[in-house]
Amino acid sequence: MIERGEALAHVRRMAEVMSVLLSHGGRYLWRRMRGQDTKGPELVREGFEALSGSFIKFGQILSLQIDTLPKEYCDGLLALLDRVPPFPREQAEQVILEDLKRPPSELFEGFDGNPIASASIGQVHRARLKDGTEVAVKVQRPGVRPVFDRDNRLLRFFIRVIFFFRIESFYFMRDPVRELSTWTKDELDYRREASYCKMLGDNAVQTPTERVPRVFWDLTTSRVLTMEFLDGPSVATYLRMVERGDEEGLAALKDKGFQPDVFSSNVISNFLSDAFRFGVFHADLHPANLLILPNNVVGYVDFGIVATLTQEARRKQIELTLAYSSGNPEAIYDGFLNICIVSPSADLAGMRRKIAEFTGQWYHEPAVAGRVRFRVTVTKTMMDLLSICQNYGVLVDREMIKYIRSTILADGMVSRLAPGVDLAHILRDVVEKYLAEEAQKKIFSTAGGLAILADLTLWMQSGPSGLLHALNLFERRQFRIHAGVSEVSDKDSGLRTRTVAASIVWMLTVLAVGLFGGVEFWTRLTFPTVVAGTFLALWSVWVFRLLQRLTAKEGGN
């Protein structure tokens, strides 16, 4: 039951929300009546900023609705700034004392009471540990939890009103409101953000072009987060330098080896590597969250929005990226449909035709050196595809939206940071490199033959086109494997034996296509073909075991 004081707080907050709606809505209608530019996206952004609190995060979540909201509104919400005055130093020190049981003067060698960043949830102070390590201490704003809970209840009330009066144009807001509720529980517990930071940091160890701050768990609680301080300007700072013509600042960065094109390429490569290899990636690639470190290493901060992908989702995204970079309308249709939810009223034939029609707008003809050339940006292509899906009754899976949105964010940042960088080619090169590495791992592992056969089985479920696509990919991997092995010393006979194994897998695959080729196989799966397939699988396993014994024997010599 809500107490009297809490009820009054609800009424005041609702009055504040209504005041902002009337103010900004009135300005919109006035401009529209006068035939002026309504500046709709700008007014929406300003309204969310005026409400602050959880409405800032709600606006950022709405910016993910690239499949339902117009792009200009998504862009406007993406630019939301959480501009809230910092709270007094004494309050920050009190939170630290309550949570860590000791004052900052005892915990740190030095603690700067002036925050270096401030937002509605908390603020960040720079400090130095007893051993001299520079750290960033994130302290939660006192009393923020009830404020966010109140806003969540208010938004849920608005959703009930929308559905009660059947205002269908706003139905799309239900999922973002639910997501905000989940996010609030996570974001208001800094230990959750710390766990994401550690997860990404553990993965970043394998990638020399990215740096994630280390978490100091003994100085971290639900309201205090202490992590390594990464010293470097943000991409947002660099872009401001460019806008105001700060030659001195730009020269200083250049002297430190900063190259916008190399840095941009690293951002994209890191993003794809995290998504494909580990299924976890930073989903808020905003310029303010990316730091420029020496040697064009990308530093990451603010882990409030981190996305995860299942193994199946990762496979689908790889297929979509390859299809997009191929320029083949059928592959694009299949790849995008694979990440969508098809409604009963969906017009798939119309969607296929529209994608084929748009393909001519996205790509140049003919291809150069086997590679298609792109007329438009990745953002333009993705927005077109999302629009096509919406128009033909197909909804993109929510798990995929964060990946697509992060790709669009990266594309937008790269276009400002280094306009000459071809993001599409980077996407393709990174995916192909990843697939080649995965193929080598499977071929050179103990269960390599079984793993590859399992992969082929999955591809075969898609029909002959899926299997042929798998064979094409494998052929490219095989070429890379041979190219790498040719440079290895002749003394490494074990590696050569494994390479022979790779060749045998290739021959077995070709044999499988010859045996099961033709559309008839996929439509009439008979007993003899099942027996033949089983025999082929057992034979391939026997060959691999034989080769493994040979390798072990050669290793012993």
What are the pLDDT digits (tens) for 300-351?
Answer: 999 988 888 988 888 888 888 888 877 889 989 998 899 998 988 899 999 9
Closest CA to 551 of 481, 499, 475, 487: 499
Q: In angstroms, rounded to a whole number, what is the distance separating the alpha carbons of residues 55 and 120?
A: 10
The strand pairing partners of 297, in sequence order, are 293
Whether residue 503 contacts residue 485, with contact meaning beta carbons closer than 8 Å, is answered with: no
Neighbours of 491 (CB within 10 A): 8
- Radius of gyration from C-alpha coordinates of the chain: 27
Whether residue 381 contacts residue 359, with contact meaning beta carbons closer than 8 Å, is answered with: no
Q: In angstroms, rounded to a whole number, what is the distance separating the alpha carbons of residues 113 and 111?
A: 6
> Structure pTM?
0.74
89-144+187-305 is classed CATH 1.10.510.10: yes
What are the pLDDT digits (tens) for 483-504?
Answer: 333 444 444 445 445 544 554 5
Phi (first) and psi of residue 213, to 5 degrees: -65, 145
pLDDT by 10s per residue, the chain, length 557: 456 666 777 788 888 888 888 888 778 777 778 777 778 888 888 998 888 878 888 887 887 677 778 878 887 887 776 667 899 999 999 999 999 999 999 999 999 999 998 888 999 999 999 999 999 999 999 999 888 888 999 999 999 999 998 888 888 888 888 888 877 777 889 999 999 999 999 999 989 999 999 999 999 999 999 999 999 999 989 988 998 999 999 999 999 999 999 999 999 999 999 999 999 999 888 888 999 999 999 999 999 888 889 888 888 888 888 888 778 899 899 988 999 989 888 999 999 999 999 998 998 776 665 567 788 888 888 889 988 998 898 988 877 888 888 888 888 888 888 887 777 778 778 888 887 777 666 555 545 555 555 555 555 444 444 544 554 544 444 433 333 334 444 444 454 455 445 545 544 554 454 444 444 444 444 444 444 555 555 555 555 555 555 555 555 55
Total count of residues recorded for the chain: 557
Q: H helices of 188-310, where? A: 190-204, 235-244, 247-255, 260-273
520 alpha carbon, distance to own chain's centre: 40
Domain boundaries, the chain: 4-84+145-186, 89-144+187-305, 444-556
Strands 117-118 and 297-300 turn out to be: unpaired
b/e map 137-175, b = 16+ CB within 10 Å: bbbbbeebbebbbbbbebbeeebeebeeeeeeeeeebeb
